[in-house]
Amino acid sequence: MLFIENGFALSFYTLDPVLSVRIAGIPDIAQQAMTTLRVLESAALAFPTWVIRD
């Protein structure tokens, strides 16, 4: 379920023209922090999924 949420958030932040403009107004450090947290959350979900499926 969190994989879907991460994918939706990524597409929403990049494809929605209104939100993209708002995100562009946020300082770079905050954008990097949001992106880093999304990537780390995805990796944290992928690892147990890989272990369980193996």
pLDDT (tens place) for every residue of the chain, 54 residues total: 777 877 787 777 778 788 778 777 888 898 888 888 888 888 888 898 899 987
- Domain segments of the chain as ranges: 2-53
Can you give the pTM of this predicted structure? 0.59
Query: Any residues with CB less than 8 A from the CB of 23 and at least 6 apart, and which?
Result: 13, 31
Q: Measure the CA–CA gap between 18 and 22, rounded to whole angstroms.
A: 7
